[in-house]
Structure 1
Amino acid sequence: MTNFGVQILAALVLGLILGLTARSTGHTADTPNGLGTTLEVLGSSYISLLRAAVVPLVFFAVVASIANLAKVTNAARLAAKTLLWFAITSLIAVVIGIILGAVMQPGVGTGQTAPPDYEGKTGSWWAFLQGLIPSNFLGLSASTTAGEDGSMSTSVSFNVLQVLVISIAVGVAALKLGEKAKPFLDFSASMLEVIQKVLWWIIRIAPIGTVGLIGNAVASYGWDTMGTLAKFVAAIYVGLAIVLLVVYPLLAKFHGLSIRQYFTGMWPAFQMGFVSRSSIGTLPVTQRVAERNFGVPRGYASFAVPLGATTKMDGCAAIYPAIAAMFVAQFFGIDLAWSDYLLIILVSVLGSAATAGTTGGVVMLTLTLSTLGLPLAGVGLLLAVDPIVDMGRTGVNVVGQALVPTLVSKQEGILDEDKYNASRSGSNLLADDEAPLETNDDGGAGTGAERESESSRA
């Protein structure tokens, strides 16, 4: 994983150099040259690969997570509390993002004006809420446009929130059917494994996409404009640091849990998420952190952590879209009303469910800008630095995905506090030779040796 992190950093430097080279040889957004076009194709192709995995990822991950509720006692109450805490932490994070956007004003002073095709803010509350209602089974929509030469082209898009609504309905229905739905649930779990493997392959070629994205942004917008993105990145990392180093530890403390143990326990998931930039790719480590370091019962963790990997994104779906929306508005000189800030909060708290473990920032940025009616040209601009901010975003995401089940377990009295308070050291945090966890009938957990010992005493 260390080599992968070096590859990402090298890709950022290479993309910057190639972008400046393309710019110096005459490339602009209106007059592209060969190098600039190549960078654009590399970046857009990588984003297309990520987007292609969103629909099956959300569907099968949510269905599999809901199916795991069958293994947990008091499943309905645990599920409700989990979702409530997902919403509470998202609300805290998005408020922090809005405050930072207002104080730091990362997009002010660019001198840019809104794109020619921008017709003013057209977003509304009702448009967002109506968008939750599925128009078809996969939440897909198609549009046909005519080219200047008279040719017709058709593009297909999807609404991730609609996909989520559909997957929840299917998952709950399968759970209610019991044994009749077992073949379908087994298939869903198997498909999720396959999709995760494909996603990991896509993640491994992220350096190539990074070269294209950063290079295209520099070549198209120039170095001066790119300088404002440094302020944007700084604002994002300040917000992430506040959530990771202040909000989360305080929540642990308020629940009677050690702050020191929180930091030592969450570290394996954070560093894996930071380097891989994928909540789904980090899912196995996040779940082991929740079970072995934090003491969450395995039956409950197998529901809460995978669900969080697709719906619990304080970095991607709260801090990032709040600051990003304000940056785009400031960048193009567009004023936001107080109702727009309330809409950002609503979209972030409800729309966090639209994140998908590997493209959460892109999905939420598009969702937030389109809901507010801001120029979608801002998406392409911010994608230039997305690899940089995505590392921190994903690190915060996975920590939250492990912490929330811990807080709920503590409230429900099912947390293994001996594991939470156990001493930890270096690479032994997640040793592979540690005895595997087994789920008790009551949703608790213990090692195989512990279960055998209890059996012999009985």
Structure 2
Amino acid sequence: MKLNSFGVQVTIGLIVGIILGLVAKDVAWLAGTLSWVGSTYVQLLKVMIAPLIVTAVVTSVANLRKVTNAARLAGQTLLWFAITSFFSVIAGIVVALVLKPGINSSIDPSTAAEPSKTGSWLGFIESIVPGNIFGLQASANDSGVSLSFSALQLIVISMALGIAAIKAGKAAEPFIKFSESLLAVIQVVLWWIIRLAPIGTAALIGRAVATYGWDAIGSLGKFVLAVYVGLAIVMFVIYPAVLAAHKISVVDFYKKVWPVTSLGFVTRSSMGVMPVNQQIAEQKMGVPREYASFAIPLGATTKMDGCAAVFPAVAAIFVAQFYGIELSLSHYLLIIFVSVIGSAATAGTTGATVMLTLTLSTLGLPLAGVGLLLATEPIVDMGRTAVNVTGQNLSALIVAKREGILKDVESAHTELIDADKSPVKA
């Protein structure tokens, strides 16, 4: 173990964070400090997401013209998103049927409540149509008007700009060079932020330990167990099987992806982890920048084995068992269908709760069942996001390996910036 290793530093951050979290339970100012530091770090990462998506995707699309079978790469990416989602939802269904979390549950039926947001099969079409060239969305609140961006809309806009630049020919070369130059600057700034990951990790896990006690689980402990067993099967059985089938070292993969997995666990945000995930894919895994810049942002919005496969499967079966509703084979097939396709259908309104409402409404189960599970949301969301971001990295790696474009890791280390500036250097 080397203390200058990024993965080791993140691990130390986790350990320190757990200790601080235990202390913060009885020290109010420490709990507040951890919350502020953690939220600030996540916000710093999110600030860079929009410019990273635009410059990376524009550059990626423009450079994919140099890569043979670019269309095949896109198709293979979506295919492997679906394959891993399929096996993930199967794991969720099997675990829920074996553990039966909704049978003889002591949860109070009065906690059932209709969700404020629901998934829609038209949501995907609506979400990809940009409201403006910047992909911005405005919402009014008590403090005024807040702006947010739609990552999926930004991807669509950026892909359109990249394709248009190719069609424009020589006239667009300055635009492409500017995008490449701006991307290089953005990535340097991102490294500065990513270097703070151990501190951010300590603060975030400390806040989680101080805030999310097991007392909140109560009668839903069996449900939480079922979700985490399903996630563990995906992470430590399905993913290793896929890696082994492609002759990729399982141990090596998990050592390299550990910063991504751990940050996903503590931040609970696939988008927030996206900058780290893309850099790890390029510099540690050897995925070419031209492809990683397309696959990782797309995966961060539509590839969710934890939130869109394992969780809705376990939760839907829990709701059915709680209300005494018998599910048939067609119901289980619908769960599989919604999980494989639905994550894209709800990409504009991402969130496990929205995905669950889509599953329940498709199956004809009571939407009020969503309210039964809200108490466990922060706790199960940590595990779900860890699986999500790991699966996004894995899919990009597998496609790059299958298509023969995987680079030598040593050359990948030095391609973006000087190794001395890189927090993921060997």
- 8 A contact 1:322–1:344 mirrored in 2: yes
* Cα distance in structure 2, aligned partners of 1:343 and 1:233: 20
SS at structure 2 position matched to 1:171: helix
Correspondent of 2:10 among 4, 15, 23: 4
2:229 aligns with 234
Local SS of the residue matching 1:208: helix
Would the alpha carbon gap of residues 54 and 69 (structure 1) be closer, same or farther in structure 2, given more than 3 Å must change? same
Distance 1:182 1:220, change over 3 A: farther
Percent identity between the two aligned chains? 24
Point out the more displaced range, 211-220 or 171-180: 211-220
**Equivalent pairs, count:** 381
3-state DSSP class of the match of 1:176? helix
Deviates more, 1:221-230 or 1:137-146: 221-230
Aligned to 1:15: 21
User: 1:63 and 1:346, CA in 2 relative to 1: closer, same or farther beyond 3 A?
Assistant: same
**Closer, same or farther: CA 89–77 of 1 in aligned 2, 3 Å:** same
The aligned counterpart of 2:309 is 322
Checking the alignment, whether the CA contact within 8 Å between 2:91 and 2:233 is kept in structure 1 is no
Matches of residues 126-205 of structure 1 in structure 2 within 5 Å? 126-145=122-141, 153-193=144-184, 194-195=186-187, 196-197=190-191, 199-201=193-195, 203-204=197-198, 205=200
Question: Which of residues 365, 380, 402 is equivalent to 2:352?
Answer: 365
Indicate the residue corresponding to 2:71 in structure 1. Answer: 76
Aligned match of 1:245: 240
Task: Provide the TM-score with structure 1 as the length reference.
Answer: 0.65
Query: Counterpart amino acid of 1:9?
Result: I
Q: How does 1:41-80 map to 2 (within 5 A)?
A: 44-80=39-75
Could you tell me how far 1:174 is from its partner in structure 2? 2.0
CA contact 1:365–1:379 (8 Å) conserved in 2: no
Contact 1:214 1:384 in 2 (8 A): no
Alpha-carbon offset, residue 5 of structure 1: 0.7
Q: Unaligned regions of 5+ residues in structure 2, if any? A: 1-5, 265-272, 362-366, 416-426
TM-score using structure 2 length: 0.69
Larger Rg: 1
Equivalent position of 2:211 in the other structure: 216
Instruction: Sort the Cα spacing of 1:322 and 1:198 in 2 relative to 1 into closer, same or farther, 3 A.
Output: farther
Alignment partner of 2:276 out of 276, 281, 297: 281
Whole-Å Cα distance in 1 between the matches of residues 64 and 52 of structure 2? Answer: 19
Tell me the equivalent position of 2:290: 303
Q: State the SS of the aligned residue for 1:125.
A: coil
Deviation at 1:386, TM superposition (A): 5.0
Q: Per the alignment, do residues 142 and 272 of structure 1 end up closer, same or farther by CA in structure 2, a change over 3 Å counting?
A: closer
Q: Secondary structure at the match of 2:122?
A: helix
1:208 Cα deviation from its structure 2 partner: 0.9
What SS does the corresponding residue of 1:141 show, helix, strand or coil? Answer: strand
1 or 2 for the larger relative contact order (CA 8 Å, sep ≥6)?
A: 2
Report the 3-state secondary structure (helix = DSSP H, G, I; strand = E; otherwise coil) of the residue aligned with 1:134: coil
How far 1:237 moved relative to its partner?
1.5
Distance across 2 between alignment mates of 1:235 and 1:307: 29
Instruction: Show the counterpart of 2:107.
Output: 111
1:76 and 1:243 map into 2 onto residues whose CA distance is 27
1:186 CA displacement = 3.0
**1:445 aligned partner:** none
